[in-house]
Structure 1
Amino acid sequence: MIEFRQIDDGNPALVHSPMVRALEKTFSYIAEHGGIGLTPSKAFKRVFLHWAAREFDWPGYSEEDLFAINKVLNEIDFGPLMDLHDVMIALKVGRHYKGQFKLTKAGQELVGQPGRIFGIFTPFYLFEVNHARFSRFDDEPVLGNWDVFLNVLNVETEDGATGADLRRVLFGEPDLAGGFDDVLSSLYIQVLRPLCWTGLLQENRDKGLLQTRESTFTKTPLWRAALRLETGGVVRRAPRH
């Protein structure tokens, strides 16, 4: 059983969560504009998407990143925001009403409470959302269970570990005869990236590195503040060669 500690609203570790930052900014936008405009298919309208790209400054999905490959944005182009939209609906924090997305009473009660936002959204997002929908095959199975992943990562990312390191520890050496590591791709999409988006891990792609295997993943202060794990007393791993 994975336990999350309650995070105080004033805890400075919350600054590491792109998800909490984006939700707070979304709530402020709704307060200022009365809601978020929806397309006929109930996706967020472009005026909000363009605003969110600028204001969220989401790692890997900044305004510069998004407009480098899109002239205009649709919600499907902005993966983190598409997830947040779905999760707000699922948690009944927001609803669609007369062509707009508005906060429910439960959502309004979260305004100005980033610690509660983290505590409500993070477990649901990690454990209930189908992250495989961003994979090449949306029915791709999860490669393990979160209890194992979090306890292993708790040790391995203490001083930082590359995607290749984590793939090797969890699943062994890859067979790259086909030129693509499906296992590492699934590990990133279904485990590592969601942990980064919630702010528990941080991904470092210094020097323009594009491959997950070369990225370094490190625990943020939010990991230590929020998670209570069996490997809580971290045992230092042996240096890698």
Structure 2
Amino acid sequence: MKAVLIDDEKNALEMLEWQLQNYCPQVQIMALCNSADKGIAAIQEYQPQLVFLDIEMPVKNGFEVLQQFPDPTFETIFTTAYNQFALKAFRFAAFDYLLKPIDAEDLTKTIQRYQRQRLNSNFKQQLEILMQQYVSPNSLPEKVSFSTQQAIHFVKPETIVYCESDSNYTTLFFVDKTKLVVSKTLKDVEELLVGYQFMRIHHSYLINLKEVSRYIKTEGGAIEMNDGAQLPISRQRKDELMRILSL
């Protein structure tokens, strides 16, 4: 598996090189690039399957690197220092990222995940969401990206009725009666959707407040959604939900 590493920080490049050599021997490092231009040239020359890319670089940033490859034949894994807005952007766009200083276990898991997945054909949409969120972190994208074992799906949040926890996975239930199992915990999904008027009403359920049909006065209470689903409300969440719904 050929890889190109792009980062303007010399120490970060050398550390990632060392970690890949010691923990991911299946990765063949073709080039270490300390600028965007060198990275672009290396990708063109070596045609790697994998590019490790830092976004924040002088002169040209990581976005400008990727814009040179509108139909890439490689996967991108971002390496970044901690930035809450950047991490939120990666999550919205479903891009893989590694936090500096990079943890060896996170690195090996990311490489293993890459090996299980085929090249993503929705790269352009992913990059558009990522750039929008990175440049305007307080805005909400029209669509949110969700990964499954087969593909990356782009979903309009208003089409989701509710979400149900299934251990490390979450099932999304849609207005058109379809559903989608995504490889995220309900907590992760909640972090993405809370700005779209979604609320956690139970440890297993996250609902679209715009899709609430009625409150059922059973013991403990329940919420009926527009699709007919009746969902329990946890005792801790009931007062807050009643206040939001003005009941």
Report the structure, 1 or 2, having the larger helix content. Answer: 1
- If the length of structure 2 is used for normalisation, what is the TM-score? 0.28
Higher RCO, Cα 8 Å, sep 6+? 1
Report the structure, 1 or 2, having the larger strand content. Answer: 2
- If the length of structure 1 is used for normalisation, what is the TM-score? 0.28
Rg (Cα) greater in structure: 2
